[in-house]
Amino acid sequence: MGRHTAAACKLCRREGEKLFLKGERCFSDKCAFSRRSYAPGHHGKVPVRTSEYLIRLREKQKARRIYGIGERQFAKYFEIASQKKGATGNKLLEFLERRLDNVVYRLGFATSRQAGRQLVRHGNVLINGHKLNVPSYEVRVNDEVQVVTKAAHLAKSALEKFPDRVTPAWLALTGEVAGKIVAIPKREDIDTSLEESLIVEYYSR
């Protein structure tokens, strides 16, 4: 199964909470979830029976949608995380956070991960001075990230829209549209509503 292409606002309604997939729109009166917080479709308001399996499935789906990752790729991330030392859930989040498209978003150069993915795919992001158009690239400590000059206005605009955004402790802004990876992200550094233990339980069933 590929990346979910349904309208982002419907995905938030499906998961029953804001996933902040549309950047600035999520904080405006145009946010569909704020106006209709029930699930999409004719039966959206009908209570859904829950089970442990469904709760775990929904958490996995929520994570996929937050980071914009397809089913197969997400399962691969989990497989790799499960083979590493430490808590599998924490390692999974670490790998997701270290994606280049997420780093561009976390540095504030894009209003959403989707926008960050587009910046990368269009060749507008440099890693250590070299153009890289792979959103899934896994950044390493001391990697330097910079938005190219022709797209600098996009990054500056994103920064201006969210002036109060806090840069995570594992990242550092080093210029107007430049940043650096200063550490591997720890769980306490990752601002997310995900309960990664439920995802681990889903794949361990």
Predicted confidence (pLDDT) per residue in 162-199, tens digit? 999 999 999 999 999 999 999 999 999 999 989 999 99
State the pLDDT confidence band at 50, using cuts at 50, 70 and 90.
confident
Query: Chain-wide mean pLDDT for the chain?
Result: 88
Tokens 């107007």, located at residue: 176
pLDDT at 1: 39
How many structural domains does the chain have? Answer: 1
Residue 140 lies in a domain: yes
Residue 108 lies in a domain: yes
Range of the domain at 121: 100-183
* Residue whose C-alpha is closest to residue 135's, from 171, 88, 184, 98: 98
Whether residue 8 has pLDDT greater than 80: no
Residue 193 lies in a domain: no
State the pLDDT confidence band at 95, using cuts at 50, 70 and 90.
very high
Residue 146 lies in a domain: yes
* Residue whose C-alpha is closest to residue 13's, from 44, 46, 34, 38: 38
- Give the C-alpha separation, 44 to 92, whole Å: 31
pLDDT at 132: 97
Tell me the percentage of the chain whose pLDDT exceeds 90. Answer: 72
Least confident window among 18-22, 47-51, 174-178, 191-195: 18-22
Residue 201 lies in a domain: no
Higher-confidence residue of 56 and 43: namely 56
Least confident window among 3-17, 73-87, 120-134, 173-187: 3-17
Residue 37 lies in a domain: no
Report the CATH number that the domain containing residue 179 is assigned in CATH.
3.10.290.10
Residue 9 lies in a domain: no
Residue 73 lies in a domain: no
Q: Which helix (DSSP H) or strand (DSSP E) does residue 172 occupy?
A: strand 171-175
- Give the C-alpha separation, 104 to 116, whole Å: 5
